[in-house]
Copies of this chain bind each other. A is one copy, B any other.
Amino acid sequence: MDISDVRKRTGLSAATLHHYEELGLITTTGRVGLHRQYADDVVDVLAVIALCQRSGFSLHEIRELLAKRPGAEWKGLARAKIAEITQRINDLEQAREGITHALACTSPDIMRCHHFRATLDEVYP
């Protein structure tokens, strides 16, 4: 696969792919001229990277995870991340509720709305 094929399949930029290669997350099978060539399964690796990034893993953490697979060690990291994800979903739902109310609110200034202020109090009690 050429880099343009990978870009089309994933929507990732050349800079992103270069960056992942530099960090050792993906590899090339070689070059044709100066142009990088990739194995077909690079898309699977990129999908794992995307999935893990959404979960809040840093690229360095993802490198560790990929290296530890298929060992048992990464399961500890995974369990910790599930709790983090749940927390972040709760945060997002709280934020969405705050904005939704602010839109529906009839107060001239949201900062004077009791419902909105109640949401703020949850942020910094």
Contact = CB atoms under 8 A, between A and B. Distances in A.
Given A47-B123, A111-B44, A124-B47, A86 B96 contact: yes
Interface string A77-95: 0110110011011011111
A9 to B, nearest CB: 6
- Chain A, interface residues (CB within 8 Å), range: 35 or more
A33 interface: no
B54 A91 contact: yes
Majority secondary structure of chain A interface residues (helix, strand, loop or mixed) = helix
A111 B45 CA distance: 9
A2 to B, nearest CB: 16
Nearest to A46: B124
